[in-house]
């Protein structure tokens, strides 16, 4: 069996990464040290008082002992833990001093243009495109060329860069901006049978399949050819789902209607003392100015606030939100607080609505995700937002915000680095011991997955809310019709208004057609519907920025829409009841 050389197109880059080496302390470690500073504790008593898993508690104690802040001793035949004098001193601090050191180094990496996999530079042997034939002269070789132009506009995610290039005890703090663009190269891979050499030890399944398929199909031709063979292979679109997280979830973490959103918005700036990052699709200058007193008071307590925005509300004049953002920047500069409240200049191109904020402690963060345009809303519509507090899911949102904060040229600005660092720190924290729900981020075209789950798994009813009814409604309505036919499920679809090219007459015809298929389609004028929700049976709900019936999210940019799938006992039932109550209230007010 002869060896075949396969060429993989890659983009090769080198950046200077800054990081902290060593782990920072968490609020849980601070809590344990404070307890030990006041009294001696056995491991069993600490576990009962803290409600932390025994394994997590032991890891915390070991870390505290390593730095000399806690000691172990035997008293009356019982093993107890006690803080040392240095431990008692540090326990009185607002934050435990980190046992880390700052460092920086240049790191070379390559991104393959077939699957987007990131490789350490040292794991690959590469050659410039113009030297490929010379390097493979006289050898059986095949060069893979993507069937579609490999794009430089989808840079590797910061989270994946950090996971691949940094060591487990290193946390990213900054990446130097550079004017040097990634270089196109060809990675040389040796294939012998089903063995692949030259890509390190961890080759993704999708890339492995492409390489082996090409090797199998072209081996004979390459062996007999005097020159390297070139073949096309389709680039594989990114198909990864976020990890499902176990979280603590309460009924008031499902935020509905306008007044609740106003209250939550005010609470964000009342609670935060360190950091607020807000992504509002649109910015309305009047509403943003109305929110300034809240933000100003928050900033005066030392909080840094960043405002990101995504689109213009006027499709014919895309600069409306940009103009409002620039005007807001000028107001902040005039007041001399633009260093504490920063409005970003460039669009994220996203329709997502997100808020990330601390809860008065640098180790405790929460996030809001849903339908509300925080800086263009008058808080009069029926909205839907989910509040999340558990570190792992908040970390996921921090990583997504880090990507939204990046410019199109792939640079990693300080805000993106900071958010990635926050994500790395949060995902190291222990989970809530009282997890009652499962949640999972849903991005862009991934919204098809929960829709198909509702179609295939619902047993009684499906409810879908969309702000608009437009041309993209057909696939969604088809899925709901399939559920109705297959299991006699009763789908109900509400929308706020039609969106061109659909007219009210078109909507009426569709309503009549769907009625015969067992699907109820109806407009809701009061309350004004702006929520974007899919829920089925009692325990599943998806709250999102996606207008289910008027938007068709592209696979090219996953972060164009961001939502959250929550599985919690009774959550869908509770949503339907609260929507019905809101409609009844509006009817009563108009009688």
Concatenating the DSSP letter of every residue in 100-116 gives -EEEEEEEEEEEETTT-
Whether residues 168 and 256 share a domain: the answer is no
Name the pTM for this structure. Answer: 0.84
CATH number for the domain that contains residue 66: 1.10.10.10
Between 299 and 135, residue with greater pLDDT:
299
pLDDT tens-digit series, residues 437-488: 999 999 999 999 999 999 999 999 999 999 999 988 999 999 999 999 988 8
Report whether pLDDT(326) > 80: yes
Residue 238 lies in a domain: no
Please report which helix (H) or strand (E) contains residue 62, including its range. helix 54-66
Report the pLDDT value the prediction gives residue 318, as an integer from 0 to 100. Answer: 53
CATH number for the domain that contains residue 327: 3.30.870.10
Residue 35 lies in a domain: yes
Calculate mean pLDDT across residues 133-137. Answer: 86
Confidence of residue 332 (pLDDT cuts 50, 70, 90): very high
Euclidean distance between CA atoms 449 and 258, whole angstroms: 29
Residue 410 lies in a domain: yes
Calculate mean pLDDT across residues 244-271. Answer: 95
Report the pLDDT value the prediction gives residue 78, as an integer from 0 to 100. Answer: 87
Cis peptide, bond prior to residue 478, ω within 30 of zero: no
Confidence of residue 149 (pLDDT cuts 50, 70, 90): very low
Report whether pLDDT(190) > 70: yes
Residue 526 lies in a domain: yes
Query: What is the total count of domains within the chain?
Result: 4
Residue 355 lies in a domain: yes
Q: What would the 3-class secondary structure string for 286-323 be?
A: HHHHHHHHHHHHHHHCCCEEEEEECCCCCCCCCCHHHH
Mean pLDDT, the chain, integer: 89
Return the percentage of the chain with pLDDT > 70, whole number: 94
Report the pLDDT value the prediction gives residue 237, as an integer from 0 to 100. Answer: 55
Buried b (16+ CB within 10 A) or exposed e, 397-418: bbbbbbbbbbeeeeebeebbbb
Whether residues 219 and 163 share a domain: the answer is yes
72, 91, 110 - which closes a domain: 91
Confidence of residue 363 (pLDDT cuts 50, 70, 90): confident
User: CA dihedral defined by 399, 439, 384, 469, rounded to 10 degrees?
Assistant: 90
Report the pLDDT value the prediction gives residue 301, as an integer from 0 to 100. Answer: 92
Q: Which domain holds residue 520?
A: 439-590
Phi, psi (deg, nearest 5) at residue 303: -80, 135
**Which bin fits 430, alpha (ψ -120 to 50), beta or left (φ > 0)?**
beta
Whether residues 255 and 126 share a domain: the answer is no
Euclidean distance between CA atoms 73 and 82, whole angstroms: 8
Residue 239 lies in a domain: no
Report the pLDDT value the prediction gives residue 588, as an integer from 0 to 100. Answer: 44
Report the pLDDT value the prediction gives residue 430, as an integer from 0 to 100. Answer: 80
Between 26 and 5, residue with greater pLDDT:
5
Whether residues 465 and 336 share a domain: the answer is no
Euclidean distance between CA atoms 568 and 437, whole angstroms: 5
376, 409, 438 - which closes a domain: 438
Whether residues 256 and 224 share a domain: the answer is no
Q: Say which range, 182-186, 391-395, 550-554, has the weakest mean pLDDT.
A: 550-554
Burial of 115 (0-12, 13-18, 19+ CB in 10 A): buried
91, 120, 144 - which closes a domain: 91
Whether residues 113 and 215 share a domain: the answer is yes
Euclidean distance between CA atoms 369 and 353, whole angstroms: 6
Euclidean distance between CA atoms 305 and 342, whole angstroms: 6
Whether residues 282 and 141 share a domain: the answer is no
Whether residues 421 and 450 share a domain: the answer is no
Report the pLDDT value the prediction gives residue 36, as an integer from 0 to 100. Answer: 92
Enter the tokens of residue 94. Answer: 């607002």
**SS3 for 549?**
strand
Whether residues 509 and 578 share a domain: the answer is yes
Whether residues 198 and 342 share a domain: the answer is no
Bridge partners, 74 (sequence order): 79
Helix axes 43-50, 27-38, angle to 10 degrees: 130
Enter the tokens of residue 35. Answer: 């307890």
Report whether pLDDT(296) > 70: yes
Report whether pLDDT(546) > 90: yes
Report the pLDDT value the prediction gives residue 107, as an integer from 0 to 100. Answer: 94
Report the pLDDT value the prediction gives residue 104, as an integer from 0 to 100. Answer: 94
Under DSSP, the state recorded for 156 is P
Calculate mean pLDDT across residues 417-444. Answer: 90
Report whether pLDDT(288) > 60: yes
Residue 240 lies in a domain: no
pLDDT tens-digit series, residues 401-416: 999 999 888 889 999 9
**SS3 for 135?**
helix
Report whether pLDDT(527) > 80: yes
Whether residues 518 and 392 share a domain: the answer is no
Report the pLDDT value the prediction gives residue 535, as an integer from 0 to 100. Answer: 97
Report the pLDDT value the prediction gives residue 512, as an integer from 0 to 100. Answer: 92
Report whether pLDDT(578) > 50: yes
Residue 96 lies in a domain: no
Report whether pLDDT(241) > 80: no
Calculate mean pLDDT across residues 336-349. Answer: 93
Whether residues 432 and 458 share a domain: the answer is no
Enter the tokens of residue 7. Answer: 């060429």
Which of 288, 264, 289, 291 lies closest to 359, judged by CA? Answer: 264
């Amino acid at each position: 069996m002869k060896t075949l050389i396969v060429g993989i197109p890659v983009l090769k880059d080198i950046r200077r990464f800054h990081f902290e080496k060593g782990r920072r302390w968490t609020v849980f470690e601070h809590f344990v040290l404070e307890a030990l500073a006041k009294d001696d504790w056995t491991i069993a008593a600490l576990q009962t008082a803290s409600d932390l898993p025994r394994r997590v508690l032991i890891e915390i104690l070991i870390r505290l002992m390593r730095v000399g802040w806690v000691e172990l001793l035997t008293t009356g035949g019982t093993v107890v833990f006690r803080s040392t004098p240095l431990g008692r001193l540090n326990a009185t601090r607002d934050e435990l001093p980190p046992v880390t050191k700052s460092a920086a180094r240049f790191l070379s990496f390559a991104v393959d243009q077939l699957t987007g996999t990131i490789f350490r530079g040292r794991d690959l042997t590469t050659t410039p495109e113009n030297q490929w034939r010379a390097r493979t002269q006289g050898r059986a070789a095949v060069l893979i060329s993507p069937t579609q132009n490999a794009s430089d506009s989808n840079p590797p995610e910061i989270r994946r860069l950090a996971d691949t290039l940094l060591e487990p005890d290193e946390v990213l703090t900054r990446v130097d901006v550079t004017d040097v663009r990634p270089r196109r190269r060809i990675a040389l891979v040796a294939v012998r049978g089903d063995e692949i050499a030259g890509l390190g030890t961890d080759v993704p399944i999708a890339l492995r399949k492409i390489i082996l398929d090409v090797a199998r199909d072209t081996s004979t031709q390459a062996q007999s050819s005097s020159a390297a063979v070139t073949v096309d292979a389709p680039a594989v679109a990114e198909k990864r789902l976020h990890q499902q997280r176990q979280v603590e979830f309460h009924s008031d973490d499902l935020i509905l209607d306008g007044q609740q959103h106003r209250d939550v918005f005010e609470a964000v700036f009342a609670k935060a003392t360190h950091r607020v990052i807000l992504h509002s699709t649109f910015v309305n200058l009047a509403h943003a100015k109305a929110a300034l007193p809240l933000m100003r008071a928050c900033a005066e307590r030392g909080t840094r606030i960043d405002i990101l925005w995504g689109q213009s509300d006027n499709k014919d004049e895309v600069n409306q939100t940009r103009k409002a953002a620039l005007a807001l920047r000028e107001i902040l500069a005039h007041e001399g607080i633009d260093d504490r409240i920063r409005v970003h200049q460039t669009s994220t191109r996203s329709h997502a609505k997100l808020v990330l904020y601390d809860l008065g402690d640098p180790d405790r963060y929460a996030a809001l995700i849903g339908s509300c345009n925080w800086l263009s809303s008058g808080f009069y519509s029926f909205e839907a937002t989910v509040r999340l507090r558990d570190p792992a899911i908040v970390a996921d949102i921090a990583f997504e915000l880090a990507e939204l904060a990046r410019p199109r040229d792939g640079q990693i600005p300080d805000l993106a680095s900071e958010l990635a660092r926050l994500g790395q720190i949060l995902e190291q924290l222990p989970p809530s011991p009282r997890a009652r729900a499962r949640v999972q981020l849903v991005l862009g075209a991934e919204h098809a997955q929960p829709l198909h789950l509702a179609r295939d798994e619902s047993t009684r009813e499906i409810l879908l809310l969309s702000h608009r009814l437009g041309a993209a409604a057909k696939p969604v309505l088809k899925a709901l019709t399939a559920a109705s036919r297959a299991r006699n499920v009763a789908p109900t679809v509400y929308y706020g208004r039609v969106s061109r090219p659909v007219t009210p007459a078109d909507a009426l015809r569709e309503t009549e057609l769907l009625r015969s298929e067992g699907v109820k389609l109806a407009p809701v004028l009061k309350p004004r519907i702006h929520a974007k929700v899919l829920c089925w049976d009692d325990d599943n709900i998806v709250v999102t920025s996606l207008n289910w019936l008027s938007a068709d999210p592209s696979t090219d940019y996953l972060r164009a829409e961001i939502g959250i799938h929550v599985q919690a006992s009774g959550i869908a039932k509770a949503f339907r009841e609260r929507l019905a109550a809101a409609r009844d209230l509006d009817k009563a007010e108009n009688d």
